[in-house]
Structure 1
Amino acid sequence: MKNPDGIWYTPVTGIWQTVWLEPVSKKHIEEVHTTPDIDQSTISFEVAAAGTTYGDVVEVSILDGNKTLATTKAAVGEPIVMAVPDAKLWSPESPFLYDTKITLLDHGKTQDAVEGYFAMRKISKKRDDKGIMRMQLNNKDYFQFGPLDQGWWPDGLYTAPTDEALKYDIVKTKEYGYNMIRKHVKVEPARWYTHCDRLGILVWQDMPNGDNSHDWQNRDYHKGNEFERSAQSEAIYRKEWKEIMDYLYSYPSIVIWVPFNESWGQFKTVEITDWTNEYDPSRLVNSASGGNFFQTGDILDLHHYPAPNMYLYDANRVNVIGEYGGIGLPLEGHLWKTGNNWGYVKFNNSKEVTDEYVAYAEKLKELVSAGFSGAIYTQTTDVEGEINGLMTYDRDIDKLDVKRVNKINTEVINALNE
């Protein structure tokens, strides 16, 4: 994109995530996957190690603060399942994390040791007493509401200036009264997800879209032939999507995978969705945010600007409004460029924008009872020439009245259980 404009931003390439080198012993731990099961009160560990030989052992300890709750050992490569009686469940309201210490032993001698954490939480779906399919958190109906977060910065584009800056956007999201973030077509550094786990915010994780868009149909289920990628393009997608899921698997804040968005590079939708569900059955799959829609996955995700609207409904899936809003307010002194700034609708001051936001939220409350179980407002911050953020691009100014937005957001979230 040689001339960034509107929703099209400056191209990003090169090394923009954290890079480090770490010395390890010949025998060392490579990866740890944790899978909670709150129904059975257990936590499962899969520990991958390199350079090991027969007889090597993995030792896992679970801690609550400084108190060791349980310790067990198993041969390298064997799955480990440990009981967590009277488990403290993780949620945005109470983001409790258990600490872990995992040690690789050779005849009782430590070869490597890593510290980590896990959470006891469950994401699922279930019909309510009206027959509407609802998302549940920890076996209770739970409305998920958050902003579209693209993770852009004026100075580093995809790279945040500091770790504190990464954390700041999540803190502000919670101040606005949201309980979720949709991480839009970007994979963040590991620290961002750790902040989400510790602060308590649910995450919908997009696959960054590549290739071309083809025949976007977002008002009904897709008709006709799907886009066909080249063999090379398809192989790249499958490899990178698996790597993303492996990389992020053990972050409890992540509850939904989003393989496709608005038909960008969308191909073999049913096959990709089925693979994603099978590869990680512990989470829900939102197969095509904003279309193209197929009878697959756990969620039907509509996009409608500026006001939320339920123009399609699937009785067999969770229904959400995956993008709406985009209320624009250009603020002089905080613009990436002067003139020709873009929003789905534009207003002149904070009160006007907040009034419009509240009006949309009142409509959203009605749509919750009609069947919506989640909603995504566009967006966390301004991004270059797109000036529809809750905050300015430099994060200096809250463009909406935080207290009013927090109040109405809380009402939207609670509407599901009223």
Structure 2
Amino acid sequence: MSLHLIGLNHHTAPLAIRERVAIAAEAVGGALTTLRQSGAVDEAAILSTCNRTELYVSGDTTEAVLAWWMQHAGMSLDDARPYLYHHADQDAVRQALRVAAGLDSMVLGEPQILGQMKDAVRTAEQVGALGSNLHRLFQHAFAVAKEIRSTTGIGESVVSMAAASVRLAERIFDDLSEQSVLFVGAGDMVALCATHFAASKPKRMVVANRTIERANELAHQIHGEAIRLTQLADALPQFDIVISCTASSLPIIGLGMVERAVKARRHRPMFMVDLAVPRDIEAEVADLDDVFLYTVDDLASVVQHGVASRQAAVIDAEAIIAGRLGDFLDWHARRAHVPVIQAFRDGAAQLRAQELELARKRLSRGEAAELVLEQMATRLTNKFLHGPLSAINKADSDDRERLQQAMRQFMAGWDTSE
């Protein structure tokens, strides 16, 4: 089949290695062009994300592909080899289907990888690196991913703290687009939460941080505002949702601060999530009426339930992949016979043309049409049968039985009707 998937991901390589071999989105097109020009592959596509870089290729020289990749990355192949994996033919197809369905993702069942794979295919098509084999593989992978997402629970449950925060907020407020959200801190966890909440398009989003520059940077990414942490007490009553995660060793949102905020809000509900360890929000805040406070442990139970639900769906998803894998392999097997079938057709057409030309010449000399047709049919029959009969006569006993069985199958398909 000569289909290969060569790569590394979060399962096999640390971030420091993944960063070195990654290929930026804007550089993928040029990389594919140089890879094709190297003569190492017939077809190629590159999927490069923060968690994986994978090269999907059709060709026989995988070592040449690896050499090109490491040269492009400026890394020794010997240094990279411990982190690499290589799937060939059937295993490559299976892995492509699993990646598209999110079964190989850091967050099980996440849908972003499917969009990233579609972008990779689009880029390969634009630079002419995608041929019939990889095109069919990816279209098949997209169809299988869609089937898995629509028929299993692989993407239904929450499996991250950030997503859990949004899900819990939706239980308190029917429409997050009408709410104001305050993010306290500007680290990775807050940034991830901010991204998730931004997808719901809240009425207002504000980042409060000790360093105003960090606050401004995150606020710019989510099209929000930035304030200093010293402004927190005065600003707190303005917000329906508060997400906090700082590195403070002591609570920065005390009971008194929240009591004053609730009073100023005239007891409109306030949803608060404390993702910090140690806590940012005093535990007693949870006892206040109109305040819904969740800690990292509360969210962990939501996430754990989601992971368990998705793991149960993996069994169904893997079963779908096993079945659909056969569909692709059948298509590829049939495609492998195309050159033989075409050559057979071309040979038959050549024989037909030769006999027609001879028949026309004989008819032009005045020979009887019935005799010319009879002899043309006899000559065509003999020429068509010469190859198969000669092969049977020259074959040994085992091959002769196989060829005879094949001939019986051919004869069963003859259409003798007028």
Q: Same fold (TM over 0.5)?
A: no
* TM-score, length-scaled by structure 1: 0.26
* TM-score, length-scaled by structure 2: 0.26
Instruction: Please state which structure has a larger fraction of its residues in strand.
Output: 1
